[in-house]
Amino acid sequence: MDNDKAHFFDRVYEVVKQVPFGRVTSYGAIANYLGAAKSARVVGWAMNNVSDRETVPAHRVVNRNGLLTGKHHFEGTLLMQQLLENEGIMVKNDQILNFKKHFWDPLKELGEPF
């Protein structure tokens, strides 16, 4: 297997791990931070392929609309919402309220990797 391509997944994991408590980010933001804004789909794939759910808070990663599109991939349909609410994030109708307020942009917080 080519390690170069596999690095992309690890990159996603690292960024997600750096997401602070009570904050959320989007697939596109992570992809953009990695310099592949168009590869947002691959970011989601990395979440699905993630082995360490304990270290990788995938529940803090949602789509650009703040919608919990990936909640179906968790154990319970409400598990993802429960985890977010547990962090003080209000979720209504599978959508994060004040998403912009809880939004955590790696490019803005961590700064550009270059």
Partner DNA sequence: TCCATGACATCCA
Partner DNA sequence: CTGGATGCCATGG
Residues that bind DNA (CB under 7 A): 5-6, 8-9, 26-28, 36-45, 47-50, 58-59, 61, 63-65, 69-70, 72-74
Q: How far is the CB of 23 from DNA (least distance, A)?
A: 15
Q: How far is the CB of 43 from DNA (least distance, A)?
A: 7
Q: Are 24 and 66 in contact (CB under 8 A)?
A: yes
Q: Name the CA dihedral angle for 97, 101, 104, 107, rounded to a multiple of 10 degrees.
A: 130
Contacts of 66 (CB under 8 A, 6+ apart): 24, 26, 95, 96, 99, 100, 103
Q: How far is the CB of 114 from DNA (least distance, A)?
A: 18
Q: Please, which residue, 18 or 69, has the CB nearer to DNA?
A: 69
**Nearest C-alpha neighbor of 89 from the set 76, 74, 105, 100:** 100
Q: Please, which residue, 51 or 111, has the CB nearer to DNA?
A: 51
